[in-house]
Structures are given as C-alpha cells and as structure tokens.
Amino acid sequence: QPVLTQSSSASASLGSSVKLTCTLSSGHSSYIIAWHRQQPGKAPQYLMNLEGSGGYNKGSGVPDRFSGSSSGADRYLTISNLQSEDEADYYCETWDSNTHVVFGGGTKLTVL
Amino acid sequence: EVQLVQSGAEVKKPGESLSISCKGSGYSFTSYWIGWVRQMPGKGLEWMGIIYPGDSDTRYSPSFQGQVTISAAKSISTAYLQWSSLRASDTAMYYCVRRVTGTDYWGQGTLVTVSS
C-alpha cells in the first residue's frame, strides 16, 4: 500500500508563488494522486488529479493559478499569485483501489 | 451541478447508535462510488470505506472494519454511515465523497460529538 509524505508547513508572501510537494513511497512512483485544499473551518475541496507524467486535470472552477507537475515519486502543486484565501491545509491522496485509499498528512500553508 | 448534501450535526452519548446520511444530486448516483472520510479535531484525513450504490458493493479500510457500517438507498440517492455503539473517540467531522478516479467531490461534513 502506498504512503504519501508531505511537509507539515509552508509559507509564502501574498502575490508570490509556492510549490508544495507530495512524495510517494518506494515502489509507487507511477501512481496518480489528487490534491485537495481545506480552508479553515470548511470541507476539503478537490483541486486536481496529477499523473506521473505531469499531466493534470483540474476540478470545476479551480483557478488558473493552480497547476501541477511531477518528477519521479514527487508530485507538486504550484500556486501562483497567492491570495489570502489560499491560506489553508493542502492534502494529497492516492489509491491502490477503491478499498485502499490514503491521504498525506497535509501541509499547512501560511500566506504572509 | 454535482452536490453531496450531508445530514446535520449530532450530539450523542457513549453507547448510543447513530446514522448519518449523504444525499447525492446532479449526477447518476448509482454510477459512482461514495466514500466516507473521518477528520478528528485538529487532525488530518482518514479513509474509512466506500460503497457502490449500483450494486451495494462495500469495502472498508482495515482500521474501520467492524466499527462502522456503510450502506446506500439508491432509490433516494442517499448513502449512510452507521454506528451501533458510539465511543467518545468517534467524536469527529465526517465527510462523504464521490470517487471516480480519485475523490472529485466532497460533502459539507457532519460533526459528530460523543460525550457523556
């Protein structure tokens, strides 16, 4: 079963860009992941699916400021032109099947 | 528009039973898996299990097998998460999600508080 590793926190200035990382465990570097954003006090929101090739498909209404990329076992979420509403917890998700779904521990993003 | 609308917050005592619901709309309810995710206070997301309403095929995370029951009533496009005997440690926010290739929609969450 895959394991996802995320940094616990990150910070960046308003209007700048930030790149968050989600790392797949050994033997699972080809897996597709999903990124989700959870703003304070709200339900998570699906952002995108991201393949090992770097191709991604965003959810409905997700701003162009959000993009994804991949390198080996690492999956990245880049947020450009940071806004105050981007201050949130970001989770990655992957799966072996619909039975074996795992989430990363989440990254808390602070917008300075 | 796809929507997953969950039932309201619950306050229960240890040992009581509980069922919370998740109603899907804006898509073919029987054609997508519905899963449940737990988020304990101040913590991350935990996968609990999933059901395919089309044929009621149900799978559980090993951590939650035997602790909860997942079911669905396809005639009313509603999935359920049930406990037969709640514990204080079940206090958490519970989310339903729709899955196709990964999770693509989330419900708004149901807060369950278990306290004597």
Q: Using the beta-carbon criterion (under 8 Å), do A103 and B46 form an inter-chain contact?
A: yes
Displacement of CA A87 from its chain's centroid (Å): 13
Find the CB nearest B102 among A34, A104, A106: A34
pLDDT of residue B39: 98
Find the CB nearest B44 among A45, A91, A100: A91
pLDDT of residue B107: 98
Question: Which residues of chain A neighbour B35 with C-beta distances below 8 Å?
Answer: 98, 101
Number of continuous H segments (helices) and E segments (strands) in chain A: 0, 11
Q: Using the beta-carbon criterion (under 8 Å), do A93 and B103 form an inter-chain contact?
A: yes
Q: Which tens digits make up the pLDDT trace of B7-20?
A: 999 999 999 999 99
pLDDT of residue B63: 94
Find the CB nearest B106 among A43, A49, A104: A43
Do residues B39 and B45 make contact, with C-beta atoms less than 8 angstroms apart? yes
pLDDT of residue B56: 96
pLDDT at B64 over 90: yes
pLDDT at A19 over 80: yes
Which residue has 């519970």 as its token pair?
Answer: B94
pLDDT of residue A97: 77
Q: Which residues, 6 or more positions from B26, have their beta carbon under 8 angstroms from its beta carbon?
A: B1, B2, B3
Q: Which is nearest to B48 in space by CA: A24, A89, A98, A33?
A: A98
Q: Which is nearest to A70 in space by CA: A88, A82, A52?
A: A52
Best residue in A101, A103, A107 for a mutation probing chain B (most B CBs within 10 Å): A101
